[in-house]
Amino acid sequence: MDISSGWDLVVLGSGPAGEAAAMQAAKGGLRVAMVDRDDQMGGNCTHWGTIPSKALRHQVRQVVRSQRNPLLRGLISPRQVRWQDLIQRSREVVDSQVQVRTDFYVRNRVRLFNGQGRIESAGEVRVDDQAGRQWSLRTRNILIATGSRPYRPADVDFDHPRIYDSDTILEMKHTPRNMIVYGAGVIGCEYSCLFTGLGIRVDLVNNRQHLLDFLDAEISDALSYHLRDQGATIRHSEEYTHIEADDDGVTLVLRSGKRLRADALMWSNGRSGNTQNIGLENLGLKPNSRGQLAVDERYQTEVAGVYAVGDVIGWPSLASASYDQGRFCAQGIVEGGPVKQVTDVPTGIYTIPGISSVGRTEQELTEARVPYEVGQAFFKNLARAQITGERVGMLKILFHRETLEVLGIHCFGYQAMEIVHVGQAVMRQPAPNNTLHYFVDTTFNYPTMAEGYRVAAINGMNRVSR
């Protein structure tokens, strides 16, 4: 088979966005090539982002839980758990994921090219592998799914052995006693919980006034409370001026005049799209200041036949959304016709405890002058939460006072990221099926966390009928 021509789609990047597009296109009968510069499939999601961080979290949660269990407390001391050992275990999960994902390509007859992809024109991609080999692939369509990398300002020395970002933290060879986490976005908050769970004292530096201010305010406050309770000091509205690093540690100097000292620093202040050296200049395309590309509703760039999906197009920059963008984009290429849009993406934040939400927040509903009411269930009152010892948390349903339409689900605590999907399923129903009545009239397994929906819905109904 001639591998230099006849391709229908060449995909750059095997993260969730590229993989989903490749599979959808292959199933639609297209001849598809996948190009990734990494010699293993899965993208940054599998190797550096979602998967290792969630595998680490699972282990840290077990350590945290063991401290709450009188039978296990004393058997494990969080401070004796070594970061390197946790990384080792998370690598096993990564390896399993790579195996599963690589198999998808084999089964769907998608040809893999390991090498740096570079677009020569709207109809040609050049691939250079590490052994110096080169391929030129002529194709009808190109999909840019090259993802993102940690944003690294020029004045921070990321080669210093005590300065890390979310990639290099996975190679940290020691377990610090204290850490500075600079940047309190999702990555900063998640990693702060991992560190404090191991008894590492954390200074979490936030350049905004609140943590994760896109969240419902009550939930953001709860996160702040629990982070502090676990040993983090949160410093809001702070900006760094510079970082001094030596053999023993790192000093972060803040514009406010504070000097924070710790064994190590993790920089988690945003990400940039991987659009450098991929040949955009050959297409006349220019990314924005964060390296991201603009696309239309078909995920097509300004150049016909060249598409982009995933982190490289910016918000929401989630594996979940990237996967669907890839699928929908490829479906559009195969079938023509309107392309489905990725909307109402739920939030799933793997802090300890976790946070998840879908729909609108109280602040948004108040601003939009929607007459809403709140129904709440506190985990401490649910039998399942008492059995598991996971009493911290809350499920909150926001609904329209008159129509009872469910407008938002906000959950904090054990299993939040799973629980939210029950509410999401109801919210996705067309009127009049999206209604609070569903939770009141449905029999839930007992004792479960899902039962919280009935408790919260009845609580809400009582408020309306007062």
Ligand X SMILES: NC(=O)c1ccc[n+]([C@@H]2O[C@H](COP(=O)([O-])OP(=O)(O)OC[C@H]3O[C@@H](n4cnc5c(N)ncnc54)[C@H](O)[C@@H]3O)[C@@H](O)[C@H]2O)c1
Ligand Y SMILES: Cc1cc2nc3c(=O)[nH]c(=O)nc-3n(C[C@H](O)[C@H](O)[C@H](O)COP(=O)(O)OP(=O)(O)OC[C@H]3O[C@@H](n4cnc5c(N)ncnc54)[C@H](O)[C@@H]3O)c2cc1C
Give CA–CA dist 181/164, Å, rounded. 9
Please tell me whether residue 399 binds ligand Y under the rule CB under 6 A.
no
Which among 46-54, 174-182, 240-248, 382-390 is the span making contact with ligand Y, rule CB under 6 A? 46-54
Q: Give 199's contacts (C-beta < 8 A, 6+ positions apart).
A: 77, 78, 79, 231
Among 28, 231, 249, 270, binds ligand X (CB under 6 A): 270
Near ligand Y in 57-116, by CB under 6 A: 116
Find the shortest distance in angstroms from Cβ 52 to ligand Y.
Answer: 8
CA 375 to chain centre: 28
Among 207, 233, 251, 376, binds ligand X (CB under 6 A): 207
Please tell me whether residue 44 binds ligand Y under the rule CB under 6 A.
yes
Q: Report the partner that residue 268 touches, choosing among ligand X, ligand Y, none (CB closer than 5 to 8 A by kind).
A: ligand X
Amino acid at position 96, single letter: S
Please tell me whether residue 273 binds ligand Y under the rule CB under 6 A.
no
Phi, psi of 223 (to 5 degrees): -60, -45
Show the tokens assigned to 75. Answer: 């058997």
Note whether 454 and 440 are within 8 A (CB): yes
Which among 10-18, 64-72, 111-119, 184-192 is the span making contact with ligand X, rule CB under 6 A? 184-192
Please tell me whether residue 168 binds ligand X under the rule CB under 6 A.
no
Give CA–CA dist 205/184, Å, rounded. 6
Near ligand X in 276-335, by CB under 6 A: 290, 317-318
Note whether 95 and 88 are within 8 A (CB): no
Q: Is the peptide bond before 447 cis (omega within 30 degrees of 0)?
A: yes
Among 141, 148, 192, 459, binds ligand Y (CB under 6 A): 148
Please tell me whether residue 220 binds ligand X under the rule CB under 6 A.
no
| DSSP-based three-state secondary structure for 377 | strand
Give CA–CA dist 8/20, Å, rounded. 16
Q: Give 347's contacts (C-beta < 8 A, 6+ positions apart).
A: 214, 215, 355, 356, 357, 358
Q: Report the partner that residue 117 touches, choosing among ligand Y, ligand X, none (CB closer than 5 to 8 A by kind).
A: ligand Y
| DSSP-based three-state secondary structure for 38 | coil
Q: If we measure between CA atoms, which residue out of 205, 171, 189, 184 comes closest to residue 52?
A: 171
Question: 133-150 burial string, b = 16+ CB within 10 Å, else e?
Answer: eebebbbebbbbbbbbbb
Nearer to ligand X, 18 or 115 (CB): 18
Around 224, how many Cα atoms within 13 Å sit in the side-chain half-sphere?
Answer: 17
Which among 15-23, 137-145, 185-193, 373-381 is the span making contact with ligand X, rule CB under 6 A? 185-193
Q: Report the partner that residue 279 touches, choosing among ligand Y, ligand X, none (CB closer than 5 to 8 A by kind).
A: none
Please tell me whether residue 188 binds ligand X under the rule CB under 6 A.
yes
Please tell me whether residue 317 binds ligand Y under the rule CB under 6 A.
yes
Please tell me whether residue 272 binds ligand Y under the rule CB under 6 A.
no
Find the shortest distance in angstroms from Cβ 311 to ligand Y.
Answer: 4
Sign of the dihedral through C-alpha 243, 248, 249, 255: negative
Nearer to ligand X, 141 or 272 (CB): 272
Near ligand Y in 150-169, by CB under 6 A: 166
Please tell me whether residue 314 binds ligand Y under the rule CB under 6 A.
no
Which residue carries 């936030």 as its tokens? 206
Please tell me whether residue 349 binds ligand X under the rule CB under 6 A.
yes
Find the shortest distance in angstroms from Cβ 278 to ligand Y.
Answer: 5
Phi, psi of 168 (to 5 degrees): -75, -15
Q: Report the partner that residue 270 touches, choosing among ligand Y, ligand X, none (CB closer than 5 to 8 A by kind).
A: ligand X
CA 28 to chain centre: 28
Which among 80-88, 104-112, 236-244, 342-350 is the span making contact with ligand X, rule CB under 6 A? 342-350
Nearer to ligand X, 158 or 446 (CB): 158
Q: Which residue is nearest to ligand Y (CB)?
A: 147
Q: If we measure between CA atoms, which residue out of 145, 147, 208, 159 comes closest to residue 182?
A: 208
Counting residues that bind ligand Y (by CB under 6 A) gives 38
Q: What is the DSSP string of 348-373?
A: EE-SSS-EEEEE--HHHHHHTT--EE
Among 36, 124, 190, 405, binds ligand X (CB under 6 A): 190
Q: Report the partner that residue 116 touches, choosing among ligand Y, ligand X, none (CB closer than 5 to 8 A by kind).
A: ligand Y
Please tell me whether residue 328 binds ligand Y under the rule CB under 6 A.
no
Note whether 313 and 293 are within 8 A (CB): yes
Among 9, 11, 23, 45, binds ligand Y (CB under 6 A): 45
Q: Report the partner that residue 13 touches, choosing among ligand X, ligand Y, none (CB closer than 5 to 8 A by kind).
A: ligand Y
Please tell me whether residue 356 binds ligand Y under the rule CB under 6 A.
no
| DSSP-based three-state secondary structure for 19 | helix
Write out the residues near ligand X by the rule CB under 6 A: 151, 183, 185-188, 190, 207-208, 268-272, 290, 317-318, 348-350
Write out the residues near ligand Y by the rule CB under 6 A: 12-18, 35-38, 43-45, 49-50, 53-54, 116-117, 145-148, 166, 187, 274, 278, 310-312, 317-320, 322, 348, 350
